[in-house]
Amino acid sequence: MEIYLDNSATTKPYLPVVKLMVYNMKNFFGNPSSLHAKGIMAEKLIKKAKNQISEVLRCSPNELFFTSGGTESNNLAIQGIVRANRGKHILSTQIEHPATLNTLKYLESIGYEIEVISVDSDGVVVLEEIENKIKEDTVLVTVMHANNEIGTIEPILKIAKLIRRINSNTYFHVDACQSYCKIPFTVDELGCDLLSISSHKIHGPKGVGCLYVRGGTRVSPIIFGGGQQKDLRPGTENVVSISAFGLASEISGKNMLESSKKMRNLNNLLRKHILKNIDNVFINTPLKNFVPHILNVSFKGVKSQVLLNHLDKEFIYVSSGAACSSRKNKPSYVLGSIGLSPDLIESSIRFSLSVFTTIEEIERTILCLTKLVPKLRRIGEL
């Protein structure tokens, strides 16, 4: 039995999504910019996907722009805002996704002032720092909704209200790739101007994402082409994947409460039995305000890569950190930001669940961990 517990990195597509992609690839291959019947049919698929996603976010379909994924959505939001608006000061946090942090590094290299807000031991943004650091020329604040390594949910609405009170000209971008269809929210409930989401985190295909841009928000394109998507994100749309993203959103949105409850129960079971059956373990995911699918654990005295390799031999697939940086063998800056010691960072494993995860899979994972961790500690002492 294979046990896939790396759903924060990517998810298994729903079967109806796969079937839809095959069907649409065979039958709706027209260019949506073409004026003939094939093009019009393709355009209708894009409109349907926008309606499906806007139903979840409770926004206008006209406020949605398709991209190649969360990374491009973050880049378009951040670079698009600073290109279109005055102000050289940007605020973000210590624990953002590399798609955000590396974009900010680039902007800093060309003259923008980047300030980073710290987080507490649970990974929650220190609101007082945001309040103290917003300035007259702060053009953007960008904060992720749920952290991809430890699962912490940030107080996004409180941040939005702070921004509005101090500088109403400052835009607010939220990376919601790990929270979309995992926990219920609307764009108005978050109070953001821009929001990034990604298909492959919700059982859709890879290579497609979406950026919500609130009406009236000034954003400049970062690539240029044939005028598609109101010139903001030009290029021939990936109709097949966009349509599949729409269906994945519809399925995930309708089942969100039930799926979230199931994942949270399994997450709590995993947490409880790891603490009960294994000594010297530290749970890095907070007890409250975390997304239901993520549990980050440090098994002191066992290097994460060693444990990961042994679990892999048992056909249990987990992560030693964010997928975007796990191959680089660098210590997790997220875990460092919440105050973990180097040895606990080196021994951390991220378990991330999905709607497909079963109680039998969690029980087998617990059994394997109970056997492996003490064994690997003994080997390490030799």
Complete DSSP assignment for 290-340? B-TTEEEEEETTS-HHHHHHHHHHTTEE-BSS-TTTGGGTPPPHHHHHTT-
Q: What pLDDT is recorded for position 6? A: 98
Phi, psi of 119 (to 5 degrees): -125, 160
Mean pLDDT of 237-244: 97
Residue 378's pLDDT band (boundaries 50, 70, 90)?
confident
Token duo for residue 182: 């995992």
Instruction: Determine the Cα–Cα distance for residues 143 and 97; give it in Å rounded to an integer.
Output: 9
Residue-level pLDDT at 329: 63
| Distance (Å, whole) CA 211 – CA 199 | 11
State residue 328's pLDDT score: 56
CB atoms within 10 A of CB 257: 11
Could you tell me if 79 and 86 are in contact, meaning their C-beta atoms sit under 8 angstroms apart? no
Whether the pLDDT of residue 28 is over 70: the answer is yes
Of all residues in the chain, the percent with pLDDT exceeding 90 is: 93
Given pLDDT bands bounded at 50, 70 and 90, which one contains residue 331?
confident
Domains in the chain (CATH in brackets) are 3-11+256-381 (3.90.1150.10), 15-254 (3.40.640.10)
pLDDT reading at 294 higher than 70: yes
The stretch 68-87 carries a mean pLDDT of 97
pLDDT at 1: 87
Q: Does pLDDT of 322 surpass 70?
A: no
Catalytic option among 177, 210, 324, 368: 324
pLDDT at 380: 65
pLDDT at 148 over 60: yes
Q: Positive or negative, the Cα torsion across 368, 371, 374, 378?
A: negative
Antiparallel, parallel or unpaired: β 113-117 and 89-93:
parallel
**How would residue 382 be classed by pLDDT, with cut points 50, 70 and 90?**
very low
Mean pLDDT of 226-255: 95
Q: Can you give the pLDDT at residue 77? A: 98
pLDDT score, position 253: 97
pTM here is 0.94
Quote the DSSP letter at residue 278. S
Q: Report, as an integer, the average pLDDT of 330-356.
A: 95
Q: Is the pLDDT of residue 252 over 90?
A: yes
368 as an active site residue: the answer is: no
Average per-residue pLDDT for the chain: 95
In the prediction, which pLDDT does 321 show? Answer: 65
pLDDT at 300: 95
Question: What's the pLDDT at 327?
Answer: 55
How far is the C-alpha of 175 from the C-alpha of 197, rounded, in Å? 7
Q: How far is residue 239's CA from residue 123's CA, in Å, rounded to a whole number?
A: 38
Q: Kindly state the average pLDDT of the residues 174-193.
A: 98
